[in-house]
A and B are shown apart, each in its own frame.
Chain A
Amino acid sequence: MRRSSIRISRSMLIVILIIVGALFLVLPDAMTGKFHDVFIYVLGPVLKVGPDSNITDLPGLVVSERKVSLSKYKELEGERDKLVSRLKTLQRKYLYLHEEYELATGTRQRLPDVGPGHIWAEVIRADVINSEIDINRGMNDGLKKGQYVISQDVLIGTVDFVGDYYAKVKLLTAKDHELIVEIEAIDSKKADIYRRAIMKGDGKGGCLIDGIQTNYQITDKNFVYAYARPGYLNSPLIIGKVSHIKYDDSDPLFWKINVQPSFDITKLEKVFAVTMEPGDITGVNN
């Protein structure tokens, strides 16, 4: 049986080869570029033998001004990655500062005048048992012992210890914490007043007020405020509500009042310290 042979003429071969070239031309650069990448990858060390050229558009290599050599590309890629990381850090810092600004301006609008300055701080540790928190501000930020600390729009405690870069805040509910407060009451003349008293922490997440005569009418749900103490607070600031009231067992002429502060230690994240000039820590004798 005769084999049929296919003969290609010279002209036909030229056309076929040109068509193959045109096919390479229309294929995506990402696909055809792989040949170049393999060439560079396999023969890279050999190609580097000799002096580098200072320009990118070498005859034969035929690149446009926008293209660079592979090594230059890698170098630029590394620099780009560094700049992207720096940008991310700056963006995060901007958002953090913007958040602080929004909180500060928002708080100033909602609360009465809290004084000439404040420092925002983050809670770095919360001790539920001892009713204290550590914050990331200290002496170097202008904190002093006795300054009032506010969070969630209520007074939560006072600065108890100040290090260079951190401070301990004793919460209102801490066993040995005392504070002058004002409690909503109706006096014997049926007038609404704010009766001043000393509130102490009970060490169990609440506070106690005693020493108020029973001729003052006080019910549960009455609000309790931090007294506007000169040097600490320019105007009263809410602390919590009366949770339970009963006659004092030791002296029935006085009330024994339980107060539930309005903050939740487990949800404390950001606080701010009122940076005025504190005097006596309890102000009891003021």
Chain B
Amino acid sequence: MILQGGNILNFISLDQMNFRPDVMIILMVFFALKFESISGLIACFLLGLGADIVSLPMGPFVIAFTIAGALIANIRKSSVADNIVFQAILIFVATIVILGGAEFIKYIADKDVSSHLIKRIFVTGLYNLVFGPILLLLIDGFWSGLGMKKQ
């Protein structure tokens, strides 16, 4: 949440629009692939809650993260789930779905919708595509270092 809401990621931001990797989505993918179904869902829900606390209004990311986490959890046991290329593509698709879905939920709930929507969703998705696998490797290494295994 500190990375997502703070200024640290501005060191690697792009363009005048300040495009940054969406760390919460990358983490969501990690937990959805790493944890068994129920734990993974709760972890995705909590990450969505954190994303909502960082940004306003509350609610859209909780719903979007939960749904995306549930969908990703269905493929966690497939053979390609550990493939880094697959994970990169998964992160890209998850970013598009989550950001787009959250904006759609805000739209139907009559809340303020972000500006430059399509550009932001795609550029963030591309940034996550590149940055995501690196972060996943780091988190995976850290997680393994803690003695935690994939459930």
Q: Which residues of A line the B interface, CB within 8 A? A: 8, 10, 13-14, 17-18, 20-27, 29, 32-33, 35-36, 39, 43, 46-55, 57-67
Q: A13-B41, A21-B66, A24-B58 are in contact. Are A62 and B116 (CB under 8 A)?
A: no
Contacts of A22 in B (CB 8 A): 59, 63
A53 and B18 form a contact (CB under 8 A): yes
Chain B: minimal CB distance from A32 (Å): 4
Most chain B beta carbons < 10 A, residue from A22, A33, A66: A22
Q: How far is the CA of A8 from the CA of B116 in the complex (A)?
A: 41
Whether A55 lies near B18 (C-beta < 8 A) is yes
- Is B118 part of the contact surface with A, judged by Cβ < 8 Å? no
B67: nearest chain-A partner, CB-CB: A18
* Contact across chains for B114 and A35 when beta carbons are under 8 A apart: no
- A residues in contact with B1, CB < 8 Å: 39, 43
Nearest neighbor of B120 in chain A, beta-carbon distance: A59
Closest Cβ–Cβ distance, residue A83 to chain B (whole Å): 26
What number of B residues sit within 8 Å (CB to CB) of A? 52
CA distance A54 to B1 in the complex (A): 20
Among B1-51, those with CB < 8 Å from A are 1-2, 4-11, 13, 16-20, 22-24, 37-38, 41-42, 45, 48, 51
* Contact yes or no, B115 A65, CB < 8 A: yes
8 additional A-B pairs beyond A25-B111, A60-B54, beta carbons within 8 Å, are A18-B66, A25-B105, A29-B56, A43-B2, A57-B115, A60-B23, A63-B56, A64-B112
Assembly CA distance A97 to B11 (angstroms): 57
**B60, closest chain A residue (CB):** A25
B88 at the interface (CB under 8 A from A): no
- Contacting A at CB under 8 A, from B62-92, are 62-63, 66-67, 70
Contact check, A26 vs B109: say whether CB atoms are below 8 A apart. Answer: yes
Contact, CB under 8 Å: B19 / A51: no
Known: A14-B41, A63-B55. A49 touches B6 (CB 8 A): yes
Q: What residue of chain B has the Cβ atom nearest to residue A66's Cβ?
A: B112
Among the interface residues A23, A48, A55, which one has the most CB atoms of the partner chain B within 10 A? A55
Interface on B for A, CB 8 Å cutoff? 1-2, 4-11, 13, 16-20, 22-24, 37-38, 41-42, 45, 48, 51-60, 62-63, 66-67, 70, 99, 102, 105, 109, 111-116, 120, 124
- Which residue of A10, A25, A48 is within 8 Å of B37 (Cβ)? A10
* Closest-CB distance, B39 to chain A (whole angstroms): 11
List 17 interface pairs A-B (beta carbons < 8 Å), by A numbering.
A17-B66, A25-B60, A35-B52, A35-B58, A47-B7, A48-B6, A49-B6, A50-B8, A50-B9, A51-B7, A52-B7, A54-B16, A59-B120, A60-B51, A61-B5, A61-B54, A63-B114
Nearest chain A CB to B78's CB is how many angstroms away?
17
A13 proximity list for chain B (CB < 8 A): 38, 41-42
User: Do B10 and A52 have beta carbons less than 8 Å apart?
Assistant: yes
Q: Please, which residues of chain B bring their CB within 8 A of the CB of A55?
A: 16-18
A13 to B67, CA, bound (A): 11
Q: How far is the CA of A75 from the CA of B10 in the complex (A)?
A: 22
Whether A21 contacts B62 by the Cβ 8 Å rule is yes
Assess the B2–A53 pair: CB atoms within 8 A: no
Whether the pair B59, A24 counts as a contact (CB closer than 8 A) is: yes
CB distance from A28 to the nearest CB of B (A): 10
Does the CB pair B41–A17 fall under 8 Å? Answer: yes
Contact B18 A60 (CB under 8 A): no
- Nearest residue (CB) in A for B64 is A21
Asked if B10 contacts A51 (CB within 8 A), the reply is yes
The docked-state distance in angstroms from the alpha carbon of A35 to that of B120 is: 25
The complex places the Cα of A20 from the Cα of B120 at a distance, in Å, of 27
Q: With a CB–CB cut-off of 8 A, which chain B residues contact A18?
A: 63, 66-67
Chain A neighbourhood of B112, CB < 8 A: 63-64, 66-67
